[in-house]
Amino acid sequence: MVELGWDESADVVVIGGGGAGLRAGLAAAKAGADVLLLEKMEHPGGKTAMSIGIITASETSYQKKAKVKDSHAKHFADLAAMAKAAGQPMDVPATKFMIRECSKEIDALNAMGVRFTGPHPEGPHGTPRMHVIQPDCRAMAEILIRTCKRAGVRIACNMPGAELVLDHRGHVVGVRSDGPDGPRRIQASAVVLAAGDYSANTALVRKVAPKLKLAEPLRAFATGDGHGMAMRIGAATRNMSRVNTPQMRFPDWPHVEPSPGLVGAGAKLVTRKGERIRTKLDESVLLPGFEDRWEDIFIVIDRDTAAKLAKASDDVGPGRDGWVRTGKPFIGTAPKVGYAYLDDCRDWSWHREARTLTAAAKHIGCTAAALEKTLGPKSEGPFHLLGPVRRVIANSGGGVSTDFKLNVVSTEGAPIKGLYGAGVNARLISFMGGHGYAFAWAMASGRIAGTNAAEYAESVRR
């Protein structure tokens, strides 16, 4: 029932329609709640739909089928070793919780019709744990959206959540949304914040990570709205200074981060003017030599360099293990394949093969003379041109503090009644080594937050 002063009502309102929000909406609806999901963009999906789609998980049905012996305890031991090597403190209960809950999401997504390949080997993990979504996260997000709608979740796009509404006790009882038709006040028994990261909120990034070398955000919608709403009502935060260091990424799909090994094998980084970016081969956080550059770059791979890269024929299958066994460089981790080789790039818009140097220069937009000077006289075609690639901040790592029920906690340490958090909006852990946890965390935390929000909403109704 909509009470006086409210425009609309739902048992659970979810703010944000990326992986965490959709998963939260689905879990809340399955637990019996009437759910309204607010998404500020024209279409849900968020960064989840742009993701490479790697989940690092243990004790999965895919591992069992492949007769890979693994356990959460072994997984934890590998992460503990990575934390030690990185000199990072580890929150033991939170890490164990995360390993267990994230791993469950493989089977949960599978039951919705999402498929994976794997487990693939991925160092420094001692056991194959890499599961890769098929065919990609865009398709996965559509499955999630469809499943939500079937479960009765109402999805309202172009409807940004703007402020949380509190009652006299400080309990969250609704949301103000500033949509195209003006502000709307939505009554809710519980709210789940799942509005993604703050990498595009430059003012906030400057404040929490003043020493970070800036770069443009990969996507402008990541303005940390959920963090802001929670902080304004007194929520505590964790690890806000952890904003990802700028990385090289292809701004067009798929948003692969090129492997630094390419430069070691002889690939050249070339600007649109044909100028070469000099490299320091011992640096690996960014593709070396790119730390202060913001412009479009092309990675030029000539015939000799191409011969030094890993190929599908190096694999013993079914996983992409050629690069592990031979130590040859790969292009980067990529949707569908996990580890991409040069031939995989032929399917993507940012790859071109040019038979001659003149054709390569034309594609880059420079003169043949400039490119020849950069590549040197011995460089021969065919040339593979990967680009443009740019220096971007892809994500941020801090979140609103929660307990293990994903109930948001205040700066005084008490749970804020009626408020839950999920995905990159809410972070429980301080360190996860390697990659493949952020996506799975979005799913696992969404499930937990949505279920608990529905349970809380039910208790408020009673």
Residue placing its CB nearer to ligand FAD in the complex, 175 or 360: 175
- Provide the phi-psi class of 101: left if phi over 0, else alpha when psi is between -120 and 50, else beta: alpha
DSSP per-residue codes, 346-376: TTSTTEEEESSHHHHHHHHTS-HHHHHHHH-
Verify binding: residue 119, ligand FAD, rule CB under 6 A: no
Half-sphere exposure of 250 (CA within 13 A, CB side): 27
Q: Give dist(CA 126, CA 175) in Å, integer.
A: 46
Verify binding: residue 130, ligand FAD, rule CB under 6 A: no
Verify binding: residue 418, ligand FAD, rule CB under 6 A: no
Q: Buried (b) or exposed (e) across 108-127, using 16+ Cβ within 10 A?
A: ebeeeebebbbbbbbeebeb
- Stretch of 1-9, 10-18, 77-85, 279-287 lying at the interface with ligand FAD (CB under 6 A): 10-18
Residue placing its CB nearer to ligand FAD in the complex, 230 or 357: 230
| Termini Cα distance of the chain | 14
Given 218, 361, 419, 428, the residue binding ligand FAD (CB under 6 A): 218
Pairing of strands 182-193, 172-179: antiparallel
Question: Closest separation between CB of residue 423 and ligand FAD, Å?
Answer: 2
- Provide the phi-psi class of 234: left if phi over 0, else alpha when psi is between -120 and 50, else beta: left
Is the CB of residue 170 less than 8 Å from the CB of residue 2?
no
Verify binding: residue 121, ligand FAD, rule CB under 6 A: no
Verify binding: residue 424, ligand FAD, rule CB under 6 A: yes
Residue placing its CB nearer to ligand FAD in the complex, 225 or 321: 225
Q: Give dist(CA 159, CA 152) in Å, integer.
A: 18
Q: Give the number of residues in contact with ligand FAD, rule: CB under 6 A.
A: 41
Binding mask 371-410 for ligand FAD (x = CB under 6 A): -----------------------xx---------------
Residue placing its CB nearer to ligand FAD in the complex, 323 or 383: 323
Verify binding: residue 122, ligand FAD, rule CB under 6 A: no
Binding mask 255-294 for ligand FAD (x = CB under 6 A): x---------------------------------------
Verify binding: residue 433, ligand FAD, rule CB under 6 A: no
Backbone φ and ψ of 264, nearest 5°: -60, -35
Q: Give dist(CA 134, CA 139) in Å, integer.
A: 8
SS3 137: helix
Binding mask 140-179 for ligand FAD (x = CB under 6 A): --------------------xx------------------
The closest of 141, 129, 166, 140 to 55, measured between CA atoms, is: 129
Cis amide prior to 254 (ω within 30 degrees): yes
Question: Closest separation between CB of residue 304 and ligand FAD, Å?
Answer: 30
Given 10, 12, 13, 16, the residue binding ligand FAD (CB under 6 A): 16
Cis amide prior to 121 (ω within 30 degrees): no
Given 442, 444, 448, 454, the residue binding ligand FAD (CB under 6 A): 442
Verify binding: residue 15, ligand FAD, rule CB under 6 A: yes
Question: Closest separation between CB of residue 48 and ligand FAD, Å?
Answer: 3
Residue placing its CB nearer to ligand FAD in the complex, 37 or 364: 37
Residue holding tokens 């949707």? 335
- Provide the phi-psi class of 258: left if phi over 0, else alpha when psi is between -120 and 50, else beta: beta
Verify binding: residue 194, ligand FAD, rule CB under 6 A: yes
The distance from CA 273 to its chain's CA centroid, rounded to whole angstroms, is: 32
Verify binding: residue 339, ligand FAD, rule CB under 6 A: no
Given 11, 18, 165, 386, the residue binding ligand FAD (CB under 6 A): 18
Verify binding: residue 423, ligand FAD, rule CB under 6 A: yes
Given 6, 7, 30, 41, the residue binding ligand FAD (CB under 6 A): 41
Q: Give dist(CA 462, CA 459) in Å, integer.
A: 5
Question: Closest separation between CB of residue 221 and ligand FAD, Å?
Answer: 4
SS3 30: helix
- Positions 227 through 256 that interact with ligand FAD (CB under 6 A): 255
Q: Is 228 exposed, middle or buried (0-12, 13-18, 19+ CB in 10 A)?
A: middle
Verify binding: residue 322, ligand FAD, rule CB under 6 A: no
Binding mask 48-87 for ligand FAD (x = CB under 6 A): x-xxxxx---------------------------------
Cis amide prior to 388 (ω within 30 degrees): yes
Residue nearest to ligand FAD (CB): 18
Residues that bind ligand FAD (CB under 6 A): 15-21, 38-41, 44, 46-48, 50-54, 160-161, 194-196, 218, 221, 225, 255, 394-395, 423-425, 435-440, 442
